[in-house]
Structure formats: C-alpha cells, structure tokens
Amino acid sequence: MACPLCSTAAGAPHAPSVTGHGATIRGVTTFRMPDPHPVMTALLAVTASRKGIVELTADTLTVRLGVTWHAEIPRSSIKAARKDPLKTISIGAHGWRGDWLVNTSTKGLVVLTIDPAASARCLGYPIKLRKLHVSLADPDAFLDALTSPTPA
C-alpha cells in the first residue's frame, strides 16, 4: 500500500521533497511547511523564501525559509511546544526581540519556547531566538516527534 499522503510506494524511502508528514531519512525527520496561497507563492519566490523546511534530529531542530531565514536550535533548549493560538495574516519571516514568526501559511502554526536563546539568521544578520512561531503542514506529527523520547 502506498503512503496516503504522498503516494510513495510501500517500503520505499520518501524523497526529501515530499516529506511533509514526518518521514525519517538517515536520522533526520523532515516536516514541510504548508503550501502558500498561489498569490503568496510568487512573492515568496521573489524573496527566495518559497521552500520552508523543518528538520528534527536527536539533538537539533533546524528551521529554514529559503535562503532568507535559518535557525539551528538544540532540542535541549526547547522548553515548551504547542499548537499556536496566534492569528496572523502575514507570511514570511518576521520578528522582534527574540520572538519570530516563520511561515508559509496562516494555518498549522506551532509555537516553541526556547531557553537559552538560540542563534539564528535573518537575511544573513545574526539574531537571538527565544520564541518561534512556525507553520507546518502536519503540526500534530511534528509535536509528536518533538515530544517523543530521543534515542540514546
């Protein structure tokens, strides 16, 4: 039976471009951000921010939004993770004083509390990250994977 989310044949590895629901390849579980509204797709493409990806390993959470935004957060620094009640109309990477929204959609938002603050980059500039609001195609799978015990 094929994967119901991406039609990958049973037993076949998921290609990185189609892993949106927590497929694991070589110890990296990849979650994709939701596809943006078609109008926003053009804007995100112009700003080199079209591809949003979240990768989770035993030690690190990596979040990228194209070439414009990048963070590597130690899992041990993630103190809380939950579905985000934030209502937003903006798309992209926006933040101030350590609180950042990184999204390709207004749906599927998750909020992470980070302590100590993690280092990140926006447009190449270094920033500190204390709270991250991120959109995910499958926020439940992400939260399950993040809260699962990591292998020793």
CATH of residue 126? 2.30.29
6 in a domain, yes or no?
no
Count the domains in the chain: 1
**Overall average pLDDT of the 131-147 stretch:** 95
Report the distance separating Cα 51 and Cα 12, nearest Å: 24
Asked if pLDDT for residue 83 goes beyond 60, the answer is yes
Asked if pLDDT for residue 139 goes beyond 70, the answer is yes
Q: Is pLDDT above 60 for 123? A: yes
What is the mean predicted confidence (pLDDT) over 56-70? 92
Q: What is the mean pLDDT of the chain?
A: 80
Asked if the structure places residue 62 within a domain, the reply is yes
* pTM of the full structure: 0.77
Which contiguous run of DSSP H or E holds residue 143? helix 139-147
- pLDDT of 137 over the 60 cut: yes
Dig out the tokens for 93 from the structure.
Answer: 């990477």
Q: Give the DSSP letter string of 16-79.
A: GGG--S-EEETTEEEEEPPPPPHHHHHHHHHTT---EEEEE-SSEEEEEETTTEEEEEEGGGEE
Q: Is residue 99 part of a domain?
A: yes
